[in-house]
Each structure stands twice: as structure tokens, then as C-alpha cells.
Amino acid sequence: MTTRVGTLLVVLAYSAAVSGFPGDANAQVGAAIGIIGGSALLHKAGDEFRQSIDHARAAASSILVQANDLAKQRLDQIDEIANRTIDDMVGKSEAAATRILEDATKKVNDLEDKIVADVGRVMWKAECAGKRFVTTDLGTAIGGLGKVLGTNEIQLEPPVRVLKTPAWYTGCLWRCDPYLVTVNDEFGETYKTVKRLMEGAIADDQVTDDTPADNIVRTYEYLSTFAKRASCFYEGTEERYNRDSIDYQYKAHQWNNVVNVRL
């Protein structure tokens, strides 16, 4: 059964709203806000708190396979903040509840920074084998994501080939392939090219109601893995790539939830 994008947009919004919290904590935050008063400021604080919880949980979940105990410890810490915040809001005024949510959001964001550092250490061992990649490690970096052609080109092998060679390209061979990427000496620039290319493949002008939702899930997963590999070129400054990887995995998880709900 193929799940199409056009039938899922409302479900996606719902999934994004409820996926982050354990159990019914999300609903409890909403209920507490409703009882207290529900002004725009309070709702804004609640939305920011829920979003911070979602992102922190996504970061911790990204290392469940490689560092299960550490990931579970971080998830427990996130849940503890969420549950304590709900308890603290009970019986409070609107202004007090808003401050509680704002303070809790800061705590979660601070914890997320620590989790991202955890992710960096875990990925350095799992993805990078504990060493900084250089150009000669390109085969290792691209393994499973494409083919290395010579010393300065890679042929991406995305899970779904959405982009096609333009019809007006005639008489050319593989060099017309939109997934052929020139490798820059600064691998971060190569990563930016791949990022633009793959994000463009699932951009609004490429996705229609008939696009299989699984295309989007697998593309985000591909980007998440590519970001992890890119981090291996930047020992000590890899955080931006790890954050990208976490963000792409979170988006893949959202869309995967939608597919599962639809099925």
C-alpha cells in the first residue's frame, strides 16, 4: 500500500503536536493551560516548551542504538522536567504559569546542548571510527550513500531518484545526472550542495498529492546519515552537522508517524 502526501497533511500536523511527550503529558500541558486561562502569551510559552521537549527527545533518541543507557538516561531527565513542569503549573496564575513554562524551556534547551555534545562523542566513535576524515577517506564517508568517481566527484545514490535529467539535455551520458556532485576541498561546501539537492527533491514544487510519503521519510533519513558523515571531517567543530542530523531524523520520524497512523 502506497501512502500519498495529499491525504496526510492534517495527520502530520496532529502527529507533530503529540509525538514529543511520553504518555499523555502533552495533553496535560494543554489542559493545564486551558484551566489557567489560555492567553496568547501562555499558549506561546506552552508551544515553545513542547517544541523544546520534542527537539531534546529527538536528540537523545538519535543515539539509542549506539549508546542505549546514556540515551535512556537523557530521556528520563527530559521526562522529569516535563512532569515537574506540569505539577508546578497546577493552581498557578496565568503569569506564574507562563514563567514556569519559560524557565522549564530554558532547562530543556540547556539539557539539549548537553545531549548534542553526547551525540558528538557517540557519533565520533560510531560513524568516524574515532578519527578525523580527510579527502582520502571519501570512500568511507560516502559508503552506502553513493559512489566515488575519481578524486573530485561523487555519484549520489538517494533512496528515491526524484530529480530527473532535463528533457532538453540530449546526447549526454552520466554527466547529465542531477545527482553527480563535485567534491570541494572543503567538505562542508560539498555537504551544502548535497543538502540543497536533496532538500530540493522534496520541496513544495516537487511534492504533489501523489508523492509517496515514504519518499520524504527516506530522503530525510538519507540527509541525516550524510550529515553524520560530514561531521567526521570536522573534529571539534562538528556540532552544526550533528544538529542537522538530529533535525533530519526528527523530520523523518514525524513523517514516519504519519505513515503509520494512515496505515
Listed by start position, the domains of the chain span 20-126, 135-262
Least confident of 34-48, 91-105, 228-242: 34-48
Cβ–Cβ under 8 Å, residues 233 and 189: no
Q: Global pTM? A: 0.80
What pLDDT was estimated at residue 155? 92
What pLDDT was estimated at residue 209? 82
Least confident of 15-24, 121-130, 132-141, 143-152: 15-24
What number is the average pLDDT over the span 69-98? 93
Report d(CA 2, CA 151) in Å as an integer: 39
High-pLDDT (> 70) share of the chain, %: 83
What number is the average pLDDT over the span 148-161? 88
Residue 12, pLDDT > 70, answer no
